[in-house]
Structure 1
Amino acid sequence: MAVTGAIFALFVLAHMYGNLKLLWGEEAYNDYAHHLRTIGEPMLPYAGLLWVLRIVLLVSLVAHLWAAFTLWGRAERARSHKYAVKKRVRQSLSSRWMRWGGVFIFVFLVWHLIEFTIVRVDVSGKPVPDNPFQLVVDSFQVWWLTLIYVVAMLALYMHLAHGVFSLNQTLGWTNTKGTYARAKVLGHVVAAVVVVGFLIPPLAVLFRLVK
C-alpha cells in the first residue's frame, strides 16, 4: 500500500501542475494537453506514453484497493474476537476518515474520468467542445459541480495527509517524538499544497477569473 500510495502522491502532484496551466489561458492549457499525447513520438504512437501511465495507475489502483480492503477485513476480524484486548486509541480526523474518504475519492475519480476523459460530458448542457480548455471552463462554471470538486479535495486532503504520514511510518522514519511530529507536519504540508493547487483553477473559473 505504501508503494502504490507513493505512486498516487507523485501523480497528483504532476496532475496539479497540469491543472494550473489553466491559469495561463486557453493556448497554454491546450498545448499542455496536446503535449501529453505526443511525448515520445515517433518512437511511441500518439498518446502511447499516456496509455502506459494510465495502465500503471490502473494496476496501482487495483493493488491499493486490494491492500485497503485486506487491512479493513483484518481490523474487523480483530474486533470480532472476544478475547481481543480493547484499547482506546486516539485517532486523528484524517485516519478515522481514511476508509470512507477513500471510497468517496474513488467514486469521484470514476465520474471525473467519465466527464473529462472516457466519455467527455459537458454538464453545462452545451455541445461537448473539441477543446480541453473550454470543456473544463464550461464544467466548473456550474456551481454544484465545483462544490462536489471542493468536497472531493477535502477528502483528498485528509487521505493524503494520513497517507504521507503512514508512508514515513512504513519507512521507519517516525521512531522518535521529533521525527513522528515532523512526519505529521509533512503530511499536512504536502496535502495542503496539493489541495490548494487543485482548488485554484476551478474556483478561478467559477468566479470568472478564467473564462
Structure 2
Amino acid sequence: MAVATKERARSEHRPPPPSSTLGRMWHSTIGKKTAMAVTGAIMLLYLVAHMVGNLKVFFGPDEMNGYAHWLRTIGDPVLHHEWFLWIMRPVLVAAVVVHGVAAYQLSRRDLAARPVGYAHRRRPASYATRTMRWGGVIVALFVVWHLLDLTTGTVNPDFRSGEPYHNIVETFSTWYGNAIYIVAMLAVGLHIRHGFNSAAQTLGAGGRGRDRALRLTSNALALVLTVGFLAVPVGVMTGLVD
C-alpha cells in the first residue's frame, strides 16, 4: 500500500506532456532516438568531409593551406568571407548539443526504468556499446581541445594564423598532441561503429536481410574514418609530413 501511494504521488507530480507536436515528439523515447539519429548523420557527414580535407596535408603546405583558404571563400561572391563557416558552425553546435542532451536523457530514462539490477546475467554487450557513454564524453572534450589547438591556437606552441599545415605539424610533433588525438579518434571510431547501426535501425533502415549489411557498413565506415584521421599524426611522426 505504501509503495502504491508513493508511486501515485510521484506520478501526480510528474510534469504533463508538452502540448505541441514537436514537444511531444521530443518528450517520447522514439523522438529522442530520432533526434540522435538525425544529428548523428549531420556530424557523420561533417567527419567524412573533415577527414578528406585533412588528408590534403600529404600533398604539401600549398595544397593544405589552399584548401583552408577555399573553405573561407565558399559561396563567394554571394556569401562574404568566412560566412559559410559561420553558418555551418551553429548547425554543428546545435547537432552536438541535441545529440548529447538526448543521449543523456535516454540514459537517465533507461536507468529509471530498471533501478534494480538484472536477476540473470545477460549476454555481454559489445565493447563499442559499453563505451558509448564515456566515448561521447572523450569526443566532446577533444572537440574543445581541437578548437583551442588548431582554430584559436591557444594551446599550440607555435600557432600561425592561415597556415594549417604548419600548425598540424607543430601539434603532432609533441607527444601529448599525438596521445590526445589518437585516443579521441579511437573513441570516434567506436562511437560510429555502434551509433551508425543504431541510427539506421531507428530510422527504419533495418530489417531481415539488411541487418548484416548495416553491421558491415558501420564497421567499414568506422575503420575508414579512424584510419583516415590517424594517418595524419602517423604521417608527421614518421616524417612523411614535415
TM-score by length of 2: 0.80
- Residue 122 of structure 2 corresponds to 88
Deviations 1:161-185 (A, max 9, x none): 1011112211223322x32222111
CA contact (8 A) 1:122 1:138 kept: no
- Residue 11 of structure 2 corresponds to none
2:237 aligns with one of 199, 206, 209: 206
- Residue 57 of structure 1 corresponds to 92
Gaps of 5+ in 2: 1-35
The offset of 1:85, in angstroms, is: 7.7
CA contact (8 A) 1:174 1:183 kept: yes
* Structure 2 Cα separation of the partners of residues 62 and 129 of structure 1: 30
How many residues end up aligned between the 2 structures? Answer: 206
Output aligned runs, 1:62-141, within 5 Å.
62-80=97-115, 88-117=122-151, 119-121=152-154, 123=156, 125-126=157-158, 128-130=159-161, 131-141=163-173
* Structure 1 Cα separation of the partners of residues 90 and 238 of structure 2: 36
**Partner AA of 1:142 in structure 2:** T
The offset of 1:2, in angstroms, is: 0.3
Structure with larger Rg: 2
1:161 aligns with one of 185, 189, 193: 193
The answer to whether residue 18 in structure 2 is matched with residue 18 in structure 1 is no
Q: CA RMSD for the aligned pairs?
A: 1.7
The offset of 1:122, in angstroms, is: 5.4
* Structure 1 Cα separation of the partners of residues 67 and 197 of structure 2: 32
**Partner AA of 1:159 in structure 2:** H
**Partner AA of 1:146 in structure 2:** N
TM-score by length of 1: 0.92
Gaps of 5+ in 1: none
The offset of 1:121, in angstroms, is: 3.4
Cα–Cα, structure 1 residues 102 and 122, in superposed 2: closer, same or farther, change >3 Å? Answer: closer
* Structure 2 Cα separation of the partners of residues 137 and 6 of structure 1: 30
